Structure 1
Amino acid sequence: MANERWKDDIAYAMTPFKLFTWPIGMWPLQDYNIFSVLRSVFGICCASLLVILPSMEIYLGCTDVEQNIDCLMILCCSVLGVLKTTRFCIYPNSLINNYKSAVNDYLTIVNTKERDIMRKHAFIGRYICCSMVCVSYFSCMIYVIIPLMNYGQGNQNVTDEDAILMYPFPSRCALEYLNFPKSIYIITILAEEVIMLVGATTNQGNNALFLNITLHVCGQVNILRINFTNFDVTSPRIYERFNALIQRHQYLIRLARELADLISFILLIELFIISILLCIMGFQFTLALKVNDTFMVGKSLMVLSAFLTQLTLYSAIGNYLRSEMEEIGLSIYQSTWYSYPKEITKNVIYILMQTKSPTALEAGNFVIVNLSTYMSILKTSFSYLSVLRIMIEV
């Protein structure tokens, strides 16, 4: 009965992320074969099209300022999707090891209090990450509804060669340059919608996959802290039990470092891109307010919210991981360490030394991603935005 309950916990914690990432070949617990490679190539190709077509649109010079901003936003998000998918494909062992460890954690746990901690972190991962992906999908649907409504109202005659067609993302000139037939306009719109959904999955789906397992590691560190605090020196086999806790600490450090190394380069690019896009979209929002463009105000707010949410999640979870690692030392200090045997007390000193340099998510291995970094990015972005706002008012 208990075994079935743990299996239900595994399904609860991992099924949504499998649904997001299996279609693009990113699910760590899948069978790695030619089909998984083909799915990964499909995801990378769709994200690459979202880079190529908007770039051609800007190069051909047939877009206005609003469309140029849309092209830049889609291009940047797609670049992140390509980077994440490619890196996770080339270095899959970090995610595989962490997810296999998570499955083993659920299958071997017997303490109901520890299970509750794991379920709480799984719930947070499901709620936050699934919301992030679903909002991204909803945004993609909005982008396809506008040209379909325009077509349904008969505002554009798709049989006219001089007609200006609308597409889910700016690609009209690029498709005309490639001699794409206008007779399959609806099919083209639906194909672009599929491309946008897959491209969103390569970015936000991979974010959800990574952040979910990072939260699980945080939960395991939380459990370890409780075990250190409540360590009982009166029970038998004290040396074996304390050594088991030390080995568990080292194991969790290794898992966290694997995740930090995997995401380090991507986080550096992501922080740079989000900082730039916050300024650009904030500037667009300011202009829309000035000319009372309600549609553009709503669109800018939606995009700004998406980028701020993504930055907030990485910063908050990175801050949580670092604080949990640091508080291992505090947990030991709050235990009855003064009654430990001399041999164990020596090990306590080394653990305290280890917590002085805790594992954390870093951008490029030199910028720690936490709430302080988050506030610095916001302050810098809004400072540049204030300068731009003053320039247009002068």
Structure 2
Amino acid sequence: MLWGGRFSKDPKKNVLLFNSAENILVDEKLVEYDILGSIAHVKMLGKQKILKAEETEELLRALNELLQEWKTGKFKLDPNLEDVHMNVEVAVTKKTPHGKKMHTARSRNDQVNLDLRLYMRDEIKNLIGFLKNLQKSLEIQGKLKVDIPAHTHTRVAQPITNKFWGDGYSVSFEKDIERLEQLYKRVNKNPLGACAISGTSWNIDRDYTAKLLGFDSVEENSLETISSRGELESELVFVCSLVATQLSRIAEDLIWLSYVGLIELPEEYCTGSSIMPNKMNPDPLELIRGRTGRVYGNLLALLTIMKATPTGHNADTQETKRLAMDSVEIVKSCLQMSAEIIVLIKWNQKKAKELIDQGYAKATLLADKLAMEGMSFREAHEKVGSLVKKLQKEGKYLEDELK
């Protein structure tokens, strides 16, 4: 073990598996980030003369070789080495004995913080891309303008257009994009140099490392940097939860609107029944609703993990990685599926008119018209309400009265 000097006994194998078996699978998403972070760290150590020029050169060569081995599938993570950081260090040390110096002025505490920030930076950009793609799908479905009924309390309310329906969700997703952009600014600060918790006595250059890794600035307080682990992940999953909420609402809209015949779902995005030959089920949309619950659960788990950890680093926060990554993958897949379905839905104009008429959706328009002509709105409301009741009994519609 790289930290074995303090111990007289090796940890039991089942302890290592308990600590690392699941974690090492999650860490596979961080390998490239860990190597890139190590490259920047080694360059900084060389610049500051903490490493000799030849040591720096050999370490950079080894790290770049390892990066290529990871990309080609030759480098695999070993759960017996606990995590991605120790796996990378051991692999580099096999290539050059100077690998033992690579961890100078660094802790796994600020190292994992760095890896997660690099991961979140990329995934925030990816999520924004998926959101903009969905906005485009919503725009496309609204090009063929159709008057449709809007609903309140699941009852016909007033007439709108399918474009207006799509624009409503698009505006909501624009808010999510703004939230992600704001989060990106908080994520995009260099945590390296915080080390275990109180910084380092080495003469490091954190600004240089920040520049190499594309950070806007550095985190100033090392205690806060280490203690707040999980905070940025929670914020990311919170935004994912809001996105998932809107996706679930869209899914529910489409399921219900297809049931009443207002839209036709694309057949290739439905499934059948093993026993009922007549069925065409909107399974992808139902799964979007269901997986929203998983994202909510991840957010609650993250907050629960954070609430009881004392100041400093605690192994509890290891659990935050899986929760954040799971949420991001769920939301990306749901965004993609939603975009593919929405662009292919077909609005039934005949059914839309029928529902507008049967629901007396233009009643408010008529009440407003009477009020504009001088009648008080409350009187107009009463008059039109009585008219609707009369027409319902006669089997007639407001359209007949408005001609």
Which TM-score applies when normalising by structure 2? 0.34
Q: TM-score, structure 1 length as denominator?
A: 0.34
Higher helix share: 1
Per residue, is there more strand in 1 or in 2? 2
| Structure exhibiting the larger radius of gyration computed from Cα positions | 2
